[in-house]
Structure 1
């Protein structure tokens, strides 16, 4: 009776990824444990690329109620005054419906509840334009930092909704300290968000910005760190944090700690560049970064005493456990009606206590439930069933949710549920993305784009649109059939929204064969992944695949066909893409040169839903997706 779900939960509880790194110091030495007034010790908690993941996923990963509980425990352990909670950006957009449909209001509400002290601006904060960003900034009970986001035509003037840095006052008494935090947005933000959303703003070089503010901050603070919406690696022409750290060292202006984001990297150990430590906490709220700092107020140096990523793991709710008890009774594994009713009464008591915000009382009820099940294992309940039930109860007790945050998340969830839970079709296969190659998710999404654009172009399905292209970064989620689910598996509107949450629209244009060849050659470089396509097929090569060199020297596309016919460089083709790529964003500048342009204003996700409805029995089967349209081959 031990199900895979419970087994995975038990393993997750035992193998929580807490990876300590003791006494890494900004000066390369062990942290000074001197308890004099010049030394202070503080704890920084950090997240990045949360993307509105307020709820746990189907594998019980993440969830803001569980993260809030973890944050509260750490604050209790080290003292609330000694803790700061920081975000490195991409907080509320490119998100599930619970955040995206509500323009991020729900996520900022929860961030306020969790007590964030500041956030750096991420590129996705600009997804719906600066007006929505201003609304979210005004709602926030913490400052948004973007020292390098300046008003066009000025040197260092920032928009009114952003600040360059924050001086955090942490600790108290002899442990009191002022920590300067400089916040940075990614320099590539104008290129990787919808065209026009950053109008009037200039995103300055990260290194130049840090040097500009460093002395100003250290004149007011006992130490300084950087929180940046940028990962460790370079992104095309834009410097990653490793490069920035080295440039700062070369300029004689090093910083001790950089907290990064954007590249969705769970760094279980700091990356050291000289004496600069770089850390990042993954994505989607699945980890909570924790760095314990020793700050020498005399030398104004911050050194790492301990660093770890805490895995944020959800657990079965009391309701889930009650459902399991019902199933066991129905299956004859619980053999006594009075025992069954007694168990359910304790579950109902735990639910009621939790709903009233009494987490400790709920835990007490669940402990009593545990004791009762353990005492009757092999008697009034089958021994194997008892082991499964005890595993779920232990998971509940080991990772309790914060009741207040859980209730607030449920409030927001209820608002969008009528839309999110609406069935739109079925699937018999997993639909999975691949950023750097063909994927069946990319195939079916572009198939739906081509189908809808062809119909919408002139009202007929007649081949008037020949090719569809979309970028892999625009596909934000897989659709996976849970273990044990019956087939065909029901697809909801929310599942399709999670794949395509941006509200992108179908954009039609004419491109020459030569322009299409240029785009596919660029795709093969893998700078922003492989263009997903329908109506065309191509082979691509890249010597980075074999050499591991992060900067390939040989790449390209070959044997390109459109509708089974070799691409003609001089011919004109009618194509459809999304309105993001149509503006030349993400470096795909050739799209901006297309002619006979038409923004259909037709939502990509709506087209995807309608395409599923056109399939036999409204069901996605393997034979509905033609695989092999994009093939990686050796370098010629």
Structure 2
């Protein structure tokens, strides 16, 4: 196996297809056992990540039909040039929301995202955290509908889940794939390994699936592939940000390339053709040394089918070069006819019906839902969502025999969109907007008589992932992985000190370092729950939150038995509560400014 020892950077627009081996006559060159790589060859690796159900063409999205068209045209050009090809997905292949809703409401049931993956003709697909959002059984059905591509993750154990275990037994779910890539005058053995974030149990719903250490699992798989004669070993990962892959690389051995997903970062080089408004965050590739001092290139791309990355790996007499850049998919370019008619058009028909239903009075300000906002500070989108949760709990209290909630909390990671982002005059909230903001299948639950001590502990966790920053208006920003745990709130005001020690938990939710940030918590009626950093003895609250969170998501309930809360389901998705709240209170002018619900002390 050759190590990559020289890298040049260039923008190349090519695309790919590949033939998987491992079957048939062992003497045949297109099998793993018979493949012989020539001294000189080129393999073009095409990759994307975080498609997240963005299947239809919009003003700032190309849609799946344009993406498939670009792949198909460039694939043929690559083959005509005599190059080998690989097409890889680094996870988050679907996402809850109105576009996914088109699948769940179809009859017969048709997973349009599975049809999209099939149309792209991947060689291997990494399982991402969002792929577990509806639980293992839905993921299993999705994989079956996709067709035949292997779904990879070396660090999960699916043996306790019957639906996924059967796919593991049949080879559709695997730790790695052995792929034989035809090139001019030979065949190259490529091993592809998958890995998903170790945070999976508390950011998604994997059920009985166990999640193991990434580096240990990847190294074991890489050693096996090397022993079996792999010429090239590629890791397709979904660790939620390329910074995590940079931290992983020094722990690895025998991995040649990391194709990352989950962070939506734009890696590119000077001269790359980018969509307007997109900013480069780092070079393509980023180079990091592995445990033996060998340089590993890390590549990734912005998702939503806006780009695919193209890395051309060329071998000539033992010298290996990698060149690459992201390739922009046009928002207005040609579309694949089959993907348009069988995927985009039925999904668009469904979403169009939602976008025409206007539920608010006109307003002319932005509801801010960008990641850097909802995961770091109070936002008006967080305020309206949590207000709707509190309102809904009161509306149904008699039905479920519960108390109306006193406070409501939603994790920033569950809020996924801004509304009226450009501040259009006389904009009106639509049902579509509520799906975009609150896309997951998260249900409202109430936790009654929660002690002040447990609320204090929860908030130490929720505000543990911000750091001081002198470039933001409030002096803080989100930092590291797990920032989705930041709490948007209603029914109370919280003051925390960002200069103090944040709570540190390990992956199992055990306290490594106690937090010292929460200063005060005061209910809207003036009742003190936390004062001077201390829980008020005997004080309790009735908390409305989401079943994902109450079930252990984002480690909010790390100090409870089994790391999850006891709760009562009150019968609505958070998207439904938001939609109904706006319909009954359509004047949204109060959300043009913030209330001071969350204050970060910075000095």
> Do they superpose with TM above 0.5?
yes
Correspondence for 1:143: 150
CA distance, structure 1, for counterparts of residue 527 and residue 447 of structure 2: 20
Pairing 1:206–2:214 present = yes
Correspondence for 1:501: 439
Change over 3 Å in CA distance of 1:420–1:521 after alignment to 2: same
Per-residue Cα deviation, 1:541-571 (whole angstroms, up to 9, x for no partner): 324999xxxx999761212211133223431
Do the aligned residues in 1 keep the contact of 2:552 with 2:558 (CA within 8 Å)?
Answer: yes
Change over 3 Å in CA distance of 1:105–1:545 after alignment to 2: farther
Count of residues paired in the alignment: 499
Do the aligned residues in 2 keep the contact of 1:118 with 1:145 (CA within 8 Å)?
Answer: yes
Structure 2 residue corresponding to 1:126, chosen from 121, 129, 132: 132
Correspondence for 2:304: 284
Greater C-alpha Rg: 1
Q: SS at the partner of 2:417?
A: coil
CA distance, structure 1, for counterparts of residue 44 and residue 63 of structure 2: 22
Correspondence for 1:562: 523
Change over 3 Å in CA distance of 1:576–1:181 after alignment to 2: same
Do the aligned residues in 1 keep the contact of 2:42 with 2:183 (CA within 8 Å)?
Answer: no
Correspondence for 1:523: 462
Change over 3 Å in CA distance of 1:502–1:185 after alignment to 2: same
1:616-631 to structure 2, matched below 5 A, reads 618-623=586-591, 626-631=594-599
Pairing 1:171–2:182 present = yes
Q: SS at the partner of 2:517?
A: strand
CA distance, structure 2, for counterparts of residue 192 and residue 71 of structure 1: 32
CA distance, structure 2, for counterparts of residue 497 and residue 608 of structure 1: 9
Per-residue Cα deviation, 1:440-478 (whole angstroms, up to 9, x for no partner): 100100000001112212369998321000100001111
CA distance, structure 1, for counterparts of residue 256 and residue 402 of structure 2: 61
Q: Which has the higher helix share?
A: 1
Q: SS at the partner of 2:309?
A: strand
Stretch of structure 1 that moved more, 158-167 or 448-457: 158-167
Correspondence for 2:89: 87
Change over 3 Å in CA distance of 1:482–1:29 after alignment to 2: closer
Structure 2 residue corresponding to 1:217, chosen from 221, 225, 242: 225
Report the Cα offset of residue 295 of structure 1: 4.3
Report the Cα offset of residue 262 of structure 1: 1.8
CA distance, structure 2, for counterparts of residue 265 and residue 272 of structure 1: 15
Correspondence for 1:27: 5
1:232-631 to structure 2, matched below 5 A, reads 232=241, 240-248=244-252, 253-268=253-268, 269=283, 270-274=285-289, 275-295=295-315, 303-315=320-332, 399-408=333-342, 409-428=344-363, 429-433=365-369, 434=373, 435-458=375-398, 464-480=404-420, 485-487=424-426, 489-510=427-448, 511-526=450-465, 527-529=482-484, 530-543=486-499, 556-563=517-524, 564-567=526-529, 568-590=536-558, 597-615=567-585, 618-623=586-591, 626-631=594-599
Stretch of structure 1 that moved more, 39-48 or 413-422: 413-422
Do the aligned residues in 2 keep the contact of 1:148 with 1:209 (CA within 8 Å)?
Answer: yes
CA distance, structure 1, for counterparts of residue 175 and residue 297 of structure 2: 21
Change over 3 Å in CA distance of 1:415–1:626 after alignment to 2: closer
Report the Cα offset of residue 54 of structure 1: 0.6
Correspondence for 1:9: none
Q: SS at the partner of 1:437?
A: coil
Report the Cα offset of residue 523 of structure 1: 1.9
Do the aligned residues in 2 keep the contact of 1:524 with 1:541 (CA within 8 Å)?
Answer: no
Q: SS at the partner of 1:85?
A: strand
Correspondence for 1:116: 122
Q: SS at the partner of 1:43?
A: strand
Do the aligned residues in 2 keep the contact of 1:52 with 1:93 (CA within 8 Å)?
Answer: yes
Per-residue Cα deviation, 1:590-631 (whole angstroms, up to 9, x for no partner): 58568762111322111111110122xx24224576521111
Change over 3 Å in CA distance of 1:98–1:462 after alignment to 2: closer
Do the aligned residues in 1 keep the contact of 2:192 with 2:233 (CA within 8 Å)?
Answer: yes
Change over 3 Å in CA distance of 1:538–1:314 after alignment to 2: same
Do the aligned residues in 2 keep the contact of 1:63 with 1:314 (CA within 8 Å)?
Answer: yes
Q: SS at the partner of 2:5?
A: coil
Q: SS at the partner of 1:470?
A: strand
Correspondence for 1:41: 42
Change over 3 Å in CA distance of 1:140–1:222 after alignment to 2: same
CA distance, structure 2, for counterparts of residue 97 and residue 220 of structure 1: 46
Do the aligned residues in 2 keep the contact of 1:449 with 1:607 (CA within 8 Å)?
Answer: yes
Do the aligned residues in 2 keep the contact of 1:63 with 1:312 (CA within 8 Å)?
Answer: no
Correspondence for 2:72: 72
Change over 3 Å in CA distance of 1:232–1:608 after alignment to 2: closer
Do the aligned residues in 2 keep the contact of 1:223 with 1:295 (CA within 8 Å)?
Answer: no
CA distance, structure 2, for counterparts of residue 214 and residue 486 of structure 1: 56
Correspondence for 2:32: none
Q: SS at the partner of 1:430?
A: coil
Per-residue Cα deviation, 1:134-171 (whole angstroms, up to 9, x for no partner): 111111131111222224589xx883341122222223
Correspondence for 1:392: none
Tell me, which stretches of 5 or more residues in structure 2 are unaligned?
A: 10-36, 105-109, 269-282, 290-294, 466-481, 503-511, 530-535
Report the Cα offset of residue 311 of structure 1: 2.5
Q: SS at the partner of 1:225?
A: strand
Change over 3 Å in CA distance of 1:42–1:427 after alignment to 2: farther
Do the aligned residues in 2 keep the contact of 1:63 with 1:313 (CA within 8 Å)?
Answer: no
Correspondence for 1:632: 600
Report the Cα offset of residue 100 of structure 1: 3.8
Q: When the two structures are superposed, what TM-score results if normalisation uses the length of structure 2?
A: 0.76
